[in-house]
Amino acid sequence: MNTSKNIRKADRKKATSFCPAIVSFQETENQAYQFVRVINFSIQGVLVSSDMPLDIECRIHLLIKGPELKQWNKFCCRIAWNKPAEDGQPNYVGLEYLPQTDMVDEEERNQFPLSPEDIDFILSTRLVKILPNDGICSFLNCLVYRRLDSGVQFITYGQKEDSLYIIQKGLCSIQVKKQDKTIQTVAQRRERDIIGEIALLTGEPRTASVISESKMILWELKRDKFDTVCESYPDVRVFLTELLTNRLENSYVIGVRNIGRYMMTHRIGHGGWSFVYKGRHKTLHMPVAIKMMKHNQAMDPDFIENFRQEGKIIARLSHPNIVQIYDIEEKYRTIFIIMEYLDGESLDALLDRKGALPFARALNFLRQICSGLAYAHDQEIVHRDIKPANILIMDNDRIKLLDFGLACTPGEEDFGQTGTVQYMSPEQIEGDPVDRRSDIYSLGIMAYEMFTGEKPFPDDDIQALMKLHVNKDIPDPSILVPDLPDTITQFILKSCAKSPDERYHTLHDVIEVLSAAAETLKEEISRKPADPMEVTIVLIAHNASQGPVLNKLLDEFSSRSEDLGFALTVACNTRIK
C-alpha cells in the first residue's frame, strides 16, 4: 500500500471525475465501513461527502484511489470537522491524515473490511456503471458484503425473500424440486453472474434453491434498497429490464415465462420502449405477440397512472386496420400487452428497400392508416407514435396499425416526449398538450417519405432535428417529385403545419382529401392511352443441380418486375436431351 507521498505529488486537487474511497471505523464491537465520495484532497487531508454522519471521536481508516493514482492507498485519519446534512445535501466531512506511527500496531494497520480487489470488482459491474457518479457511493452503501463457506444454502425454494446476489468469487448450483419430490441441479452460476434477481421483480416465493459449491464472495442487494436507488436515479431501471429479458430468455423455470393465460416462447423484435416476444395461449394454443414495456417507462409513476386509465380503452379497440389487443397484464414490475400475431413487412422496411412508392399504392396505404387512426380518435385515443415502423403491410397490401402502448387522451401533456423524433409534432417536442392533430402531423411526415423516398429533415443530429420540427416548415415535396399531384402536395403541407390550428382538424377530413386524390389519379390513369404490349422471351439453360439457385433468382426478378409494372410468366421446366 502506498503512503501519503502519492497524494502529496498530486498537491491539492479537485476530484472532477468520480474518486472512490471507503472509510472504516470501530463501532462498539463490530467493524463498520462506508463508501464516501471524495470532493477534493490535499497534502493535509481529504474532503468527502457521506450518506451518514461519522462520529467525530472515531479513528478513521481511509482507503482511497484518486483519479491520478493507479492503486489504492491506505491512511489513518481523524475527523477534523463534520458538517451535518441539511436541505437534501449530504454530510460533508473533513478528514486529516495522521502519521503512520499513530496506528496502534500492525494488526490495526492491516485491518480493513474490504480489499482493493473487492472494491474494484463491484465498481466494474454493469449495475454500478449505469449509475451517475454522484449516485455510486449511495448505491454501494446499500450492498451487503458476504463471504460463504462451501455447502451453504443461501436461497431456499418456497421462501419469500427479497434479495439478489452479485457473485464476485466462487461457484453455486441452482436446484429445483421435481414432481416426484427429488432434487435436480439445473444450472450453475459463477463470477459476475447475478442470482435471485426475480426477488427484485416480484417479491414472490423462490422458485429454486441455491447452494454454494465452493467458498464464495457475494454482494447482496435487497429490494427496498434498490427501490430507493431507483427513485433517486430512474436510469437504473434499465438494469431491471436487462435482468428480466435475460430471465425470460434463459430461465430454467418454465413458469417464469407465463404471462397470465399466455406463455412466451422467444423474442422476435424490440423498439425504443419495449421488447416483443412470440407466445401462445396456454389452452387454445393460439399464437400471440407479447410486448413487454421497458422498466424505465413502466415504472414511471405518471406513465403507469395514465396507461392504467387508457389500457381498458386500448384493449377494446376493434378495427380491421388496427392490431387486436387481447389482454394487458402487469407482472415483473412492468406491463405486458398481448396482441394478435401478424405476419408481414413493416412500412419502414419497405421504404428502406424500395424508396418512394407508386402514387396509387401510397394512397391505398394512407387511406387504410387513416381509417384505423380515425376510429381510434373517435374513441378518444391519440396514438402519439405514428411512424413507418408501426405500420405493418400484410398479404394483398392490407394494413395494420401497431403499437398503441404510448397512446393517451386528447389534451394530455407530453413531458416525457414519448414518440420518435423524426415524426414528432412540434407540440410533442416542446411538451405541450397533444391531440388528434399531433397524429396528423406525424402522418404528414410519413406521407412525405412515402411519396418522395426521403425524410423532410436530416436526422443525423437529433437536437438539430428537433429545432427544425419546431421552427422550420417542411420542404415542398413536389420539388423532389415534380409530377406529384397538387392535391397530395397540399395534403402533406397542410398536415405538417407548425400550428395545430392550421392542420386538418380530424382524420375524417383527411380521408375525404385522400379519397378525392385517389379518384383523380384513377381517372388520369384511365385517360392515358395504353402502350402497345410487347413480349420478350428469355430462355435459361441450366443443370438440375442449379434449380434452387435459379428459383431464388427468378423470385427476386419477379418481385422487381412487379414493382416496375411488368407482367412476368415463368414456364415449366423443359428437359433437353
Mutual angle of helices 486-495 and 507-527, in 10-degree steps: 160
The C-alpha cell at 240 is 431491471
Q: Cell 443441380 sits at which residue?
A: 545
E strands, 497-570, where?
none
Stated length of the chain? 577
Grid-cell match 404528414, residue found: 444
Three-state DSSP state, 494: helix
Q: What are phi and psi of 534, to 5 degrees?
A: -125, 155
Could you list the beta-strand ranges (E) of 178-324: 183-189, 194-195, 209-212, 216-222, 258-259, 262-270, 274-281, 287-293
CA distances from 57 to 149, 167, 412 (A): 36, 36, 56
Block residue for cell numbers 481508516: 61
Whole-angstrom CA distances from 357 to 351, 373, 389 are 8, 21, 16
H or E element, residue 466: helix 462-471
Cell of 458: 436530416
Counts for the chain of helices (H) and strands (E), in that order:
18, 24
Measured CA to CA, the distance from residue 308 to residue 296 in angstroms comes to 16
11, 51, 385, 435: which is the annotated catalytic residue? Answer: 385
Residue 385 is among the residues annotated as catalytic for this protein? yes
Report the distance separating Cα 446 and Cα 425, nearest Å.
Answer: 12
Number of neighbouring beta carbons within 10 Å of residue 240: 22
Catalytic residues: 385
